[in-house]
């Protein structure tokens, strides 16, 4: 029997295949690919561009302004959809593609899926060297695209049209695998994109994907239950994996049945509403006094869906040396860190099984009461910290104003600089799953681009809620063009630009380690000869946004209400103090390399002070 085929170019086949991939999300059958972001060049416009044009209804293509920001938007889109829907990014050969490296690294660090379809040099090599080719004299197969091997979970260069029959399903399988999830890269040589092949028609049949749930080994559950039942001071760390697994209900069921306090990581921020009695606050370097107080005394720690990054663990000083860690994680690599007792499996399934296994266990009432009392004290601190009046403008004040006026389902986006710490510490979650603080890669420039990607995802449900972006002046100057993208695509953002005159949080670190201010604040850079003040309001308006500048948090109240009422992207600018108003409480130790030798007494003293906390550091073996 002859197999039915259809003759297509390689690029046409890729796009037709993507348009027929589906997933069931919350009971609704949706296309797996919500669309894509693209900037065309000679490496992708003639062939892939032709194919995308003919599928523009099924796979809407958003025109980017910068390839890096396209990748950020794709990552934020995937995060909004809890890794159940994906965007592709297409860029031309050469710098267009290499601009995506940072975005791919961000997605890799945060375990977020996106598909990169990038131009590549000619397989035939007949026209070599070609425009924008990076030649390696000892290896003609090596090019810029090989750099993505370090920052992707799946990488392939398509050198024959038939190869996509295996490569595309493998790429999607990687992106949807809970343990291996991350970006997938396909290098598409410019000649091969246009080559045709007789593809089997069945390759393009509708395919419904499902995300695998891995059941943990029963012996690991038994071991975890046995250990947890010995706990006198137990604690649960809720990471981002709780949300990706859809395990918030199971987390609460376990904690509530046994009255175990819960703390959140940065990625796990907004697992719980702030008013939940067992929510003891955010943990670690950018955490809360309440969470850190119970962490340093906990004897058994159940870490759920977290890779235990140094900001969570205080560079491994946040916990007692003899504390036992049970790590529930779908990824084997994460589950075994720092002498943890591993439970390798899906969080939703694992938490339910663990809850059943410790049915008779009850956390000592004194310990739960201690955690609640500490959280109450932290709530009082935050209330004062976000208040405004006769104090310098601060990030915390702006966060407090927005928090008090936003809709519970509004999505908040922040990244890098001082704002992740300030949002993590001061934001009081009104609804689970509404906070995106990108700190896996701590990447400046994610804020507005990520907000745009999140807003695209949010608007798919015709949501009346807003996407709210907190960004500093440094990140805004680094990558602001998706203000324009949001206007062009009618995806409204509310952007708060909090201007502290430079890279103030790194200036703070510089000063805290005994160094003089240098090269961080614009005012402290000796090569700055003309310290021009940027008019962020006018700049945002030039890109089509409505914008205004406020003098203080009191004026921000009315401005934010106007932004909420607006139908278009709205940018609010407020100067904040570079030195005063930082959240000073809630910090664990963080390992920073400080000079052992210096001519400065302040630097030498800071080194001694910093190193004095090192004995608290838990060793990895």
Going through 142-205 in order, the beta strands assigned E by DSSP cover 154-157, 184-189, 196-200
* Contact (CB, 8 A) for 413 and 496: no
Tell me which H or E stretch contains 457.
helix 446-459
User: Residues 365-377: what's their mean pLDDT?
Assistant: 98
CATH class for the domain made up of 5-209: alpha beta
Residue 469 has pLDDT above 60, yes or no: yes
Model pLDDT, residue 619: 81
Model pLDDT, residue 621: 57
Question: Which of 567, 555, 536 minimizes the C-alpha distance to 401?
Answer: 555
Q: Buried b vs exposed e over 15-26: b needs ≥16 C-beta within 10 Å? A: bbbbbebebeee
What proportion of the chain, given as a percentage, has pLDDT over 70?
100
Could you give the CA distance from residue 558 to residue 545 in angstroms, rounded to a whole number? Answer: 18
Question: Which of 101, 86, 70, 111 minimizes the C-alpha distance to 267?
Answer: 111
Could you give the CA distance from residue 581 to residue 98 in angstroms, rounded to a whole number? Answer: 39
Could you say which DSSP state residue 567 is in?
A: S
Q: What are the sequence ranges of the domains in the chain?
A: 5-209, 218-378, 388-575
Could you give the CA distance from residue 197 to residue 433 in angstroms, rounded to a whole number? Answer: 45
Length of the chain counted residue by residue? 621
Model pLDDT, residue 213: 96
Model pLDDT, residue 133: 85
Report in angstroms the alpha-carbon separations of 161 from 2, 166, 592.
20, 11, 49
Residues in a beta bridge with 579: none
Q: Residue 344: CB partners within 8 Å, gap ≥ 6?
A: 214, 216, 217, 220, 329, 330, 331, 332, 335
Report in angstroms the alpha-carbon separations of 524 from 503, 536, 600.
11, 21, 18
User: Residues 307-328: what's their mean pLDDT?
Assistant: 96
What tokens were used for 340?
């943890």
Number of CB atoms found within 10 A of residue 255's CB: 26
Residue 435 has pLDDT above 90, yes or no: yes
* Contact (CB, 8 A) for 299 and 326: no
Write down the pTM of the prediction: 0.97
* Contact (CB, 8 A) for 182 and 175: yes
Superfamily of structural domain 218-378 = TPP-binding domain (3.40.50.1220)
- pLDDT tens, 190-224? 999 999 999 999 999 999 999 999 999 999 999 99
Residue 471 has pLDDT above 60, yes or no: yes
Q: Span 388-575: which CATH code?
A: 3.40.50.970
Model pLDDT, residue 190: 96
Q: Residue 282: CB partners within 8 Å, gap ≥ 6?
A: 263, 264, 265, 266, 269, 288, 291, 424, 425, 586
User: Burial of 139 by CB count in 10 Å (0-12 exposed, 13-18 middle, 19+ buried)?
Assistant: exposed
Model pLDDT, residue 149: 98
Cis status, amide bond into 129, omega within 30 of 0: yes
Residues in a beta bridge with 470: 496
Residue 44 has pLDDT above 90, yes or no: yes
* Contact (CB, 8 A) for 153 and 189: no
Lowest mean pLDDT among 127-141, 257-271, 407-421: 127-141
Model pLDDT, residue 26: 87
Model pLDDT, residue 290: 98
Tell me which H or E stretch contains 378.
helix 365-385
Residue 462 has pLDDT above 80, yes or no: no
Residue 134 has pLDDT above 90, yes or no: no
* Contact (CB, 8 A) for 447 and 481: no
CA 295 to the chain's CA centroid: 24
Residue 399 has pLDDT above 90, yes or no: yes
At residue 2 the predicted structure's pLDDT band, cuts being 50, 70 and 90, is confident
CA 268 to the chain's CA centroid: 10
Cα dihedral 129, 188, 66, 491 in deg (nearest 10): 160
User: Residues 381-398: what's their mean pLDDT?
Assistant: 96
Question: Which of 469, 543, 210, 100 minimizes the C-alpha distance to 87?
Answer: 100
What tokens were used for 134?
């990076």
* Contact (CB, 8 A) for 92 and 121: no
Ramachandran quadrant class, 316 (left: phi over 0; alpha: psi -120 to 50; beta: rest): left
* Contact (CB, 8 A) for 594 and 297: no
Same CATH fold assignment for domains 218-378 and 388-575: yes
Most distant pair of Cα atoms in the chain: their distance: 85
- pLDDT tens, 235-265? 999 999 999 999 999 999 999 999 999 999 9
Could you give the CA distance from residue 406 to residue 308 in angstroms, rounded to a whole number? Answer: 31
């Amino acid at each position: 029997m002859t197999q039915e085929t259809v003759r297509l170019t390689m690029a046409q086949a890729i796009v037709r295949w993507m348009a027929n991939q589906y997933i069931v999300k919350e009971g609704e059958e949706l296309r797996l690919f919500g669309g894509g972001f693209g900037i065309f060049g000679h490496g992708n416009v003639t062939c892939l561009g032709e194919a995308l044009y003919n599928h523009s209804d099924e796979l809407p293509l958003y025109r980017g302004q910068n390839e890096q920001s396209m990748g950020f938007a794709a990552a934020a889109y995937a995060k909004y959809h809890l890794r159940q829907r994906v965007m592709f990014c297409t860029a031309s050969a050469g710098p267009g593609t290499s601009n995506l490296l940072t975005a791919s690294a961000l997605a890799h660090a945060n375990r977020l899926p996106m598909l990169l379809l990038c131009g590549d040099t000619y397989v035939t090599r007949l026209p070599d060297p070609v425009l924008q080719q990076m030649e390696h004299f000892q290896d003609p197969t090596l090019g810029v695209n090989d750099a993505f091997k370090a920052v992707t979970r799946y990488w392939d260069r398509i050198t024959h049209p038939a190869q996509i029959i295996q490569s595309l399903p493998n790429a999607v399988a990687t992106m949807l695998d809970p343990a291996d999830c991350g970006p997938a890269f396909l290098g598409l040589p410019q000649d091969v994109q246009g080559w045709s092949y007789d593809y089997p028609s069945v390759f393009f049949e509708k395919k419904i994907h499902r995300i695998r749930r891995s059941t943990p080994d029963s012996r690991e559950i038994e071991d975890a239950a046995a250990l947890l039942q010995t706990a006198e001071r137990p604690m649960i760390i809720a990471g981002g994996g709780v949300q990706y697994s859809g395990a918030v209900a199971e987390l609460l069921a376990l904690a509530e049945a046994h009255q175990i306090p819960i703390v959140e990581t940065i990625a796990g921020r907004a697992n719980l509403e702030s008013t939940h009695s067992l929510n003891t606050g955010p943990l670690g370097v950018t955490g809360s006094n309440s969470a850190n107080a119970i962490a340093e005394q906990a004897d058994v720690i159940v870490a759920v869906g977290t890779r235990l990054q140094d900001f969570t663990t205080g560079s491994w000083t946040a916990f007692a040396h003899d504390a036992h860690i049970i790590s529930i994680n779908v990824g084997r690599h994460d589950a075994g860190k720092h002498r943890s007792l591993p439970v390798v499996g899906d969080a939703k399934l694992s938490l339910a099984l663990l809850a059943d296994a410790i049915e008779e266990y009850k956390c000592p009432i004194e310990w739960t009461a201690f955690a609640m009392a500490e959280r109450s004290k932290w709530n009082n601190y935050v209330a004062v910290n976000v208040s405004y009046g006769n104090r310098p403008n601060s990030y915390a004040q702006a966060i407090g104003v927005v928090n008090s006026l936003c809709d519970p389902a509004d999505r908040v986006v922040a990244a890098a600089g001082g704002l992740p710490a300030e949002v993590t510490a001061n934001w009081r979650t009104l609804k689970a799953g509404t906070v995106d603080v990108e700190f896996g890669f701590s990447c400046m420039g994610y804020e507005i681009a990520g907000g745009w990607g999140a807003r695209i995802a949010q608007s798919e449900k015709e949501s009346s809620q807003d996407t709210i972006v907190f960004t500093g002046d440094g990140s805004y100057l680094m990558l602001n063009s998706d203000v324009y993208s949001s206007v062009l695509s009618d995806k409204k953002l509310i952007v708060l630009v909090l201007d502290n005159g430079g890279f103030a949080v790194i200036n703070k670190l510089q000063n805290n380690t005994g160094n003089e201010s240098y090269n961080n604040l614009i005012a402290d850079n000796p090569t700055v000869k003309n310290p021009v003040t940027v008019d962020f309001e006018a700049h945002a308006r030039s890109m089509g946004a409505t914008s205004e500048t406020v003098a203080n948090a009191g004026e921000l109240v009315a401005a934010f209400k106007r932004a909420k009422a607006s139908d278009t992207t709205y940018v609010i600018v407020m100067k904040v103090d570079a030195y005063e108003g930082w959240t000073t409480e809630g910090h664990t130790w963080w390992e920073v390399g400080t000079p052992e030798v210096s001519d400065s007494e302040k630097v030498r003293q800071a080194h001694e002070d910093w190193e004095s906390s090192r004995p608290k550091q838990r060793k990895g073996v």
